[in-house]
Amino acid sequence: MKTLPLECYYIIFNNLHHDHKSLFSCALVNRQWCRIIIPILWSEPEHYFKDQRLISILLLTLNTEEKALLIPFKIIFPNNPKPLFEYTSYITSVSSHLSEGVKNWLGYKNERELKYAVESSFVAMFLRTSKNLKHLNLNEVICNQIVFENLYKNTTVTSMNLHIGGFKSKVMDILVKFFNKNFTLAALNLTSNQHNYEGVKILLKTLNKNTVLNSLDLYNNMIGTEGGKELAKFLCKNTTLTSLSLVSNNLRSEGGKVLADALCNNTTLTSLNLGWNNLGSEGGKALADSLYKNTTLTSLNLYWNNLGPEGGKAFADALCKNTTLTSLNLLSNNLGSEGGKALANALCKNSTLTFLDLGWNKIGSEGGKALAGALCMNTTLSSLDISDNDIGSKEGKALAVALCMNTSLTTLNLSFNNLESEGGKALAEALLKNTTLAYLNIRSIGVKLLNLKLYSQNIEIVQ
């Protein structure tokens, strides 16, 4: 009887890597299958970290130094035989689920210091044993000398989420040294750490020497205008970063302006998220102007920045000239009907944008009609969100006409607009003619359309 080559088994079982139940059953068939499947099963434990049985297996893998962290808490270690496989060597990702798993395992003994000690010993062990660890979630409270020693030695981690108190933290001092010598980290997330201008300066000075980092997320660090200026200097020199997220950092208009200037010089950044930064009309106009010169940015997220009608007009003008941006998020920016009409006009000329979010912008009747007209002409936009925009039944009818003509839109969000029965029925009839739409959100449009699935079997409809 002929047998399949091992390579075929690897391909087959890897295609089942999300179906843990089936993989586990296959692992019981024979030793050969088991040797192939166990590394796949253990590569991404994720929510299985919550399972108390898995925590017990991890305890068996701790060495003497790692166990020593738990001795003061009188932890009783399992006396089971050592596992047949070195399971932790296959793990590729350690997420926040580990913390939940430790909490479940401790039960009523869930004291904070004990929980942190167990997590710390596990992280140190993962860094020591895993030959494939790529992503690491690290919290200041579980960092100790053993963790840092193993982190220094690690050469596999490419993505890291750090939750620390700020740049005044001793832990951050040690991590800066780690960044100075690390040559594998490609993605760094420093979220909600409340850093400041001086802290950002220290971090960027360190990252200037890094030649592999391509993604940086500083969400909710309140770095302010001065921090924005430091990042602008960094972007003018950096040649590796492709993705930058600065959501909720109080950059304000001045921060927006200096970053806009940096975009005119930077040639590597492809994704920029500046949501929730109070950029205002002036900051928005500066960023819009940068799109005339920048030729690499493909995604720009500016939600909740109060850009106003003038900011909307500025982006509309930029979209008529820019040929690289494919995604633009202007959610909740008080664009009004004037901003909405200007952007609709831009869609008639732009041929590269595929995603546009204009939700919650008060574009009203005039803006809604203009956008409906634009959809009759635009041939590239695939996703449009105009939810909660004071659009009525007349605009609903106009959008229905547009759907009969448009051949590129696959996703449309019209939720929380008072389209009423006439607008809703017109949309339902348009679905009979449209052949490209795959998702339609019409939740809270003033009418509940019955048997809407009869109009189209191929569209996911939310209402």
Per-residue model confidence as pLDDT tens digits over 416-430: 999 998 998 899 889
Percentage of the chain beyond pLDDT 90 is 68
As a whole number of Å, the end-to-end CA separation of the chain is 56
Of the ranges 1-10, 94-103, 275-284, 343-352, which one carries the lowest mean pLDDT score?
1-10
**Residue 369, in any domain of the structure:** yes
Given this model, what pLDDT does residue 4 score?
A: 83
**Residue 224, in any domain of the structure:** no
Structural tokens at position 356: 């546009």
The domain of 328 spans: 307-463
CATH number (domain holding residue 342): 3.80.10.10
Given this model, what pLDDT does residue 280 score?
A: 98
Confidence of residue 104 (pLDDT cuts 50, 70, 90): confident
Whole-number Å distance between alpha carbons of 402 and 391: 15
Residue of 399, 296, 309, 411 lying closest to 352 (CA atoms)? 296
Given this model, what pLDDT does residue 169 score?
A: 64
Given this model, what pLDDT does residue 443 score?
A: 93
| DSSP symbols for 325-381 | --EEE--SS--HHHHHHHHHHHHTT-SS--EEE--SS--HHHHHHHHHHHHHH-SS-
pLDDT at 1 over 70: no
Confidence of residue 17 (pLDDT cuts 50, 70, 90): confident
Identify whether the C-beta of residue 200 lies closer than 8 Å to the C-beta of residue 230. Answer: yes
In the predicted model, what is the mean pLDDT of the chain?
91
Q: Is 224 left (phi over 0), alpha (psi -120 to 50) or beta?
A: left
Mean pLDDT of 158-181: 79
pLDDT at 2 over 90: no
Confidence of residue 238 (pLDDT cuts 50, 70, 90): very high
CA distances from 256 to 218, 226, 322 (A): 15, 11, 19
Confidence of residue 262 (pLDDT cuts 50, 70, 90): very high
- Higher local confidence (pLDDT), 321 or 192: 321
Evaluate the CA torsion angle 323, 324, 329, 333 in order and state its sign.
negative
pLDDT at 68 over 90: yes
pLDDT at 245 over 60: yes
**Residue 208, in any domain of the structure:** no
- DSSP reduced 3-state for 73: helix
**Residue 211, in any domain of the structure:** no
pLDDT at 168 over 80: no
**Residue 289, in any domain of the structure:** no
CB within 8 A of 314, min separation 6: which ones?
Answer: 284, 285, 288, 289
pTM equals 0.92
Given this model, what pLDDT does residue 74 score?
A: 87
**Residue 461, in any domain of the structure:** yes
**Residue 420, in any domain of the structure:** yes
Mean pLDDT of 212-227: 92
Whole-number Å distance between alpha carbons of 217 and 318: 26
- Residue ending a domain, choose from 26, 42, 58: 42
- Residue ending a domain, choose from 27, 42, 57: 42
pLDDT at 455 over 70: no
Structural tokens at position 134: 């790529």
**Residue 30, in any domain of the structure:** yes
Mean pLDDT of 387-416: 96
Confidence of residue 110 (pLDDT cuts 50, 70, 90): low
As for how many domains the chain has, the answer is 2
Mean pLDDT of 219-247: 94
Provide the CB-side half-sphere exposure for 169 (13 A, CA).
Answer: 21
Given this model, what pLDDT does residue 47 score?
A: 79
Confidence of residue 167 (pLDDT cuts 50, 70, 90): low
Whole-number Å distance between alpha carbons of 290 and 398: 34
pLDDT digits (tens, 9 = 90+) for 135-154: 999 888 888 889 999 998 99
CA distances from 330 to 16, 142, 298, 301, 422 (A): 39, 39, 15, 7, 29
